[in-house]
């Protein structure tokens, strides 16, 4: 072994234990990607990242029960990469790999959870359960939007299409 390779191996942090948490969503991968990649949607599904998020001077800042965090996102892409970096304290950044890929007529969303150094078995298990709850919440958001678009909007349109203004707009002034 060369001296450089030995030095590299000595300075390498240990491998972290991982858990892949995945959920199938009956939506087009592009739709899932567009929703998840929009930071403004995080409070709707990612409870672990706070109840509000705002863009401050080009940085995404979220308020959590443990204080303010900063979240950096992977650039927009066509590969389904939704990676993000969460700064939980000055100098402490957690990498969160996420992907959305086609799965039949829908999508598969996969979240890689890294067990952080010094994390107990119980805490790692709790974090994995929390991520699954959040992904399930995301799936519910998708399902709700889809149900609204498929079932409620058409009835709303039918119910209100008899109103003179709606009839006028549809017949004489189509957009």
Domain range enclosing 30: 16-168
Is the distance from CB of 62 to CB of 52 less than 8 angstroms?
A: yes
150 in a structural domain? yes
156 pLDDT higher than 80 = no
Closest CA to 42 of 77, 72, 10: 72
1 in a structural domain? no
6 in a structural domain? no
112 pLDDT higher than 80 = yes
Kindly write down the DSSP assignment for every residue of 109-121, as one continuous string.
EEEEEEPPTT--H
Q: Give the chain's count of helices (H) and strands (E).
A: 6, 8
2 in a structural domain? no
Strands 59-64 and 67-73, bridge-based pairing: antiparallel
In the prediction, which pLDDT does 48 show?
A: 77
pLDDT digits (tens, 9 = 90+) for 157-169: 454 445 444 443 4
Contact partners, residue 156, CB within 8 Å, separation at least 6: none
pLDDT digits (tens, 9 = 90+) for 44-100: 888 878 788 999 998 999 988 788 999 999 999 999 999 999 998 898 899 999 999
9 in a structural domain? no
30 in a structural domain? yes
Number of folded domains that form the chain:
1
Q: Residue 143 belongs to a domain with what CATH number?
A: 3.30.530.20
């Amino acid at each position: 072994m060369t001296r450089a390779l030995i030095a590299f191996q000595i300075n390498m942090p240990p491998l972290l234990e991982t858990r892949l948490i995945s959920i199938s969503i009956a939506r087009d991968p592009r739709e899932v990607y567009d929703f998840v990649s929009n930071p403004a949607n995080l409070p709707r599904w990612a409870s672990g990242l706070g109840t509000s998020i705002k863009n401050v001077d080009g940085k995404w800042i979220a308020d959590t029960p443990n204080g303010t965090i900063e979240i950096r996102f992977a650039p927009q892409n066509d590969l389904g990469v939704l990676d993000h970096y969460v700064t939980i304290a000055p100098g402490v950044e957690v990498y969160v790999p996420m992907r959305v890929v086609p799965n039949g007529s829908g999508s598969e969303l996969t979240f890689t959870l890294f067990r952080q150094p010094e994390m107990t078995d119980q805490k790692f298990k709790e974090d994995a359960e929390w991520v699954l709850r959040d992904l399930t919440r995301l799936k519910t958001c998708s399902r709700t939007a889809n149900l609204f678009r498929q079932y409620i909007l058409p009835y709303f349109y039918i119910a209100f299409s008899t109103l003179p203004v709606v009839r006028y707009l549809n017949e004489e002034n189509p957009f």
